Amino acid sequence: MSVERRRRYRHSVYLAAELVVEGTSPRTAITKNVSELGLLLLTRADLDCGQSVVVKIYLPGDETQPVDVPGKVVRLEELADEEKGIWRNKVAFTFDKAQPDIAQEFKKFAEEQAKIYAPIRKRR
């Protein structure tokens, strides 16, 4: 049995994102889940634990104005060979300060994505 260490509920939703590390070009990523305290995403970026990063999240309906959220890398995990595709790593971030508004937005998008993909999952 695994022990749940998270302090806040995470909302699963896939949105476009970028990682900005000072002195480097932005790197493409995709969100996997978010809470008001942190975020898990998939990327090809090479990062280190403890590294400061700004995550730019592109919310549906306003893709020209990403939400910038500063934080730190707290966990890195290379994806298993069968999980790899365009992405190479799973990266967990903790936000510098709680983001309840972003978590609420993700909850809304997660509910919308669940409605879209539920009929597809039933057919499998």
The C-alpha atoms of residue 122 and residue 47 are separated, in whole angstroms, by 37
Neighbours of 88 (CB within 10 A): 14
Residue 57, domain member (yes or no): yes
pLDDT tens readout for residues 14-73: 889 999 998 889 999 999 998 999 999 999 999 999 999 999 999 888 778 899 999 999
pLDDT confidence of 4, banded at 50, 70, 90?
Answer: very low
Residue 1, domain member (yes or no): no
CATH number at 109 reads 2.40.10.220
Number of independent structural domains in the chain: 1
Residue 103, domain member (yes or no): yes
The C-alpha atoms of residue 87 and residue 76 are separated, in whole angstroms, by 13
The C-alpha atoms of residue 71 and residue 52 are separated, in whole angstroms, by 6
Residue 123, domain member (yes or no): no
pTM of the model: 0.79
Report which DSSP code applies to 82.
T
Residue 6, domain member (yes or no): no
Domain hosting 38: range is: 11-118
